[in-house]
Amino acid sequence: MERTIYREIPASRPIIQVAVLLGVFIAAAAGAWFYIEHYGHIVTGMNNQIVWGMPHVFAIFLIVAASGALNVASIASVFGKTPYKPMARLSALLALALLAGGLAVLVLDLGRPDRLIIAMTKYNFGSIFAWNVILYNGFFVVVGAYLFVQMSRSMPYSIIRTVGTIAFVWRLILTTGTGSIFGWLVARTAYDAAIMAPLFIAMSFAIGLAVFVLVLTATCRLTDRAIGPKILDRMGNLLGVFAAAVLYFTIVQHLSNIYVAEHSGIERFILLEGGIYTNLFWIGQILIGGIIPIILVYHPTGGKKPASTIVASALVVIGGFSQIYVIVVGGQAFPLEIFPGFTASSSFSDGIINSYVPSYLEILFGFGGVALAIAITGFGMKVLRILPTNLSDVNIGQE
Amino acid sequence: MKLPALGAENGAEMNRRKFMKNAAAVATVALAPGITLTAFGGAADAQASPDSRWGLLIDVSKCSSDCDACVTACSKENGWKDKGNPLTDAQWIRKVDLVDNETGREISAPVMCQHCDDAPCVDVCPTTASFKRADGIVLVDKHACIGCRYCMMACPYKARSFIHEEVADEDRKSWAPRGRGTVESCTLCVHRVDKGETPACAVACGETGNGAILFGDLMDPESEIAKRLAEYPSVALRDDLGLNPGVRYQNL
C-alpha cells in the first residue's frame, strides 16, 4: 500500500474534450439567458400562474445536490470513517461548485438580475428567502474553509473535524431553509407542510451522493485513476439508505395530506389525475429514483458490482430531478382554492389546472448551470490537488 | 371577525418610512423619455396614517356577472391591459364567476389584492420590496423588487402579476410605476386615496348603478363601510389563514 498522494488532473485529450463540451453548454446557456434578458420572461414558458419553472427546478436540484455532495467529507472527518478520507476534498469542492451552478441559474432567472446587490444589502429578516441568501453565502465561506484546512499541510485532525462539523451542521440548516421555502407557503395546499424540510434533507443526501459518485467515477475513468469496487459498493449501500429515506418521507408527506380533506384535491392531482406530474411522480421519482436503485444496490450478487452503484446513482439523479419538478411545477399547476365550495372561473385561470410547457431556452439555461458546476469542479481538480492518484481498495485502507 | 388591527411596526414598515421620505427625490428619477416616476402619490408620508385602515366591502349580491366596469376602470387608471396573452398579461383586478357546488347558485365577484393585515407577500419578500403602509395598503416598492416572484407563490388570492415584457410608454402612469421584470398588484389606487379620493374600481362600480364596491376607513366607526360591516355579516376570503384582509365580501 502506498501513501495517498493527491495530484492535479492532467490536461489530457479526454479532459480537454469534456471541457470543450462543457464550454458549448455554458455558451448555449449564456445565449439563452441573453435572449430571455432582452425580450423578458414572455419568451419562456413561465406565466402568471406557473411563476417558477424549469430554471428553478434546475437551480433547486443543484442547490439540494450541493449540500448533499458534502456527505462524503462529513462521513470522513465528522464521523471518522477512514476509507472516505481520500475523497473528502473532492466532496467539498463539488459542493461549492454545485451551489455556484445552482445560484447562477437562480439569480439569472430573476426578473431584475441587475438588482442582485439589493438582495445582498436589503434583508427582510422575516423572509426565509432572505435567510437562504445568508445560508448560501455562509456555505461558501464554511465549506471553503473546510476545503482549506483539509488541504493544509500538517493541519491537526481536531481542527479539520471541528470545521467539518460546522460545515455539516451548516448544510443541514441550509437544506432546512431550502425545504422551508416551500414548507412555509401557507397559501398552497401542495406545500404548507413542515415535512418539506426533512424531505429536502433526505433528497439532498441521496441526490448529492449520487452526483458525487457520477463525478468521481467519470473523473477516475477519464484520468486513468483506479477506484476500488469495495469503496463504490459502500457508497452504493449508503445511496440505498438515502433513497429509502426519501421514499419514507415522501410516503409520510402524501399519507398526511390524504388524511386532511382540504388537501385531498392536490393529492388526487399528483397521485392519480395529474398527467405529466403523476407520471413523473410514479415512474420518475418512485420507480426510477427509488425502487430500482434500491434493488440494484442491495441485490445479493449484482449489488456488489461497481456498475450497480453507478447506474443507481444515475437513476437517483433522474428521480430527484423528477421529484423537484413535481414539487415546484406540479404544486403550482394545481389551482388555488380561493372560494371553497364553489366552482370558479375567470380570465385569470381561476379554477383550472395551470399549464406550463418549458421553452427550450429555459432547458438550455438550466443545463448551463449543470455544466458550470461540472466545469468549476474540473477546473478545481486541474489546479488543486483534489483527487488521489489511486483509490483502489487496497490503497485507501480500512477503518 | 378581526378587522382594523394593524400589526406592530416591523422592518417592512420602517422601510416604507424611508421609502416615502425619499419620495421627493424619487419623483425626479426619469425612467424613460418623458416619463417621471413618482412613488405612489409623492407626499404620502404625511398621509399614510396608522389611525386609518383603508378597505373595501364587496356586496356580491349587487355584482353582475356581465359587468366588468371595475376591471376596465382599474386598467385605464393604472395602465395595465389585456394584450391578448391571458397567461402573461397583468391583471390587478379580475371578475371571478362562481357556481355553488351544492346548490348551483351563480354569483360573480371582483378579486384584487386583499390588502392583508398579516400579508404573506410582505412576510416572504427577501428585499422588503413588498410592504404594508401604516394605513394598511400593501404595495410593491418598484425600486427594490428583484423579480423573484416568491410573493406570487405566497399570495393565496393570485392577486399579483409579473411583468413579462417591456411596458409601452403609453401604459406608464406617473402615479403607478411599472417595469419589466418586477411584480405588481392592486395599489388600492393609493395615489387617489392620498388625495382623499376613492379607488377607480369603486367609483366605476358606483357609476354603473350596481354599487357593489364600497371603499372606506375600517377604523373610523362613523364611516359607511365600518357601519355596514358592524351591521351585516361579511366574510374574508380564505379566512382560515387568519390574514385579516382589508377587503371583505357580503352575500357570498
Contact predicate B214/B225, CB 8 Å: yes
Mean pLDDT of B80-107: 95
Question: How far apart, in whole angstroms, are the C-alpha atoms of residue A296 and residue A309?
Answer: 7
Cell output for B26: 424619487
Does A157 contact B at CB distance below 8 Å? no
Q: Where are the domains of chain A?
A: 6-241+357-396
Question: How far apart, in whole angstroms, are the C-alpha atoms of residue B3 and residue B117?
Answer: 8
pLDDT score of B4: 65
pLDDT score of A303: 86
Cell output for A264: 385531498
- A304-318, A347-361, B3-17, B134-148: which range is least confident on average? B3-17
Closest alpha carbon within chain A to B110: A346
Q: Which residue among B87, B147, B156 places its CB closest to the CB of A187?
A: B156
Does A127 contact B at CB distance below 8 Å? yes
B149 to A126: CB separation less than 8 angstroms, yes or no: no
To the nearest 5 percent, what fractions of chain A are helix, strand and coil?
75, 5, 25
Question: Which letter does DSSP use for residue B247 in this model?
Answer: E
User: Highest mean pLDDT: which of A257-271, B11-25, B213-227?
Assistant: B213-227
Cell output for A20: 470543450
Question: What band does B37 get if pLDDT is binned at 50, 70 and 90?
Answer: very low
- Asked if the model's pLDDT at residue B43 lies above 80, the reply is no
Residue A307 CA, distance from chain mean position: 22
Question: How far apart, in whole angstroms, are the C-alpha atoms of residue A94 and residue B80?
Answer: 46
Closest alpha carbon within chain B to A46: B88
What CATH number belongs to A6-241+357-396?
A: 1.20.1630
- Asked if the model's pLDDT at residue B27 lies above 50, the reply is no
Closest CA–CA distance from residue A258 to any residue of chain B (Å): 19
pLDDT tens across B155-197, in order?
A: 999 999 999 999 999 899 999 999 999 999 999 999 999 999 9
pTM equals 0.92
pLDDT score of B142: 94
Question: pLDDT tens per residue, chain A (399 residues)?
Answer: 567 889 999 999 999 999 999 999 999 999 999 999 999 999 999 999 999 999 999 999 999 999 999 999 999 999 989 899 999 999 999 999 999 999 999 999 999 999 999 988 999 999 999 999 999 999 999 999 999 999 998 899 999 999 999 999 999 999 999 999 999 999 999 999 999 999 999 999 999 999 999 999 999 999 999 999 999 999 999 999 999 999 999 999 999 999 988 899 999 999 999 999 999 999 999 999 999 999 999 999 888 899 999 999 999 999 999 999 999 999 999 999 999 999 999 999 999 999 999 999 999 999 999 999 999 999 999 999 999 998 888 777 655
Burial class (CB in 10 A: 0-12, 13-18, 19+), A256: middle
Helix (H, G, I), strand (E, B) or coil at A346: strand
Question: Which letter does DSSP use for residue B170 in this model?
Answer: G
Residues of chain A contacting B100 with CB distance shorter than 8 Å: 341-342
Q: Are strands A342-346 and B93-100 parallel, antiparallel or unpaired?
A: antiparallel
**A315: number of Cβ within 10 Å:** 23
- All domains of chain B, ordered by start, with CATH? 11-80+89-250 (3.30.70.20)
ipTM: 0.93
Question: What band does B20 get if pLDDT is binned at 50, 70 and 90?
Answer: very low
Helix (H, G, I), strand (E, B) or coil at B55: strand
Name the nearest CA neighbour of B55 among B223, B210, B176.
B223
A51 to B153: CB separation less than 8 angstroms, yes or no: yes
Helix (H, G, I), strand (E, B) or coil at A311: helix
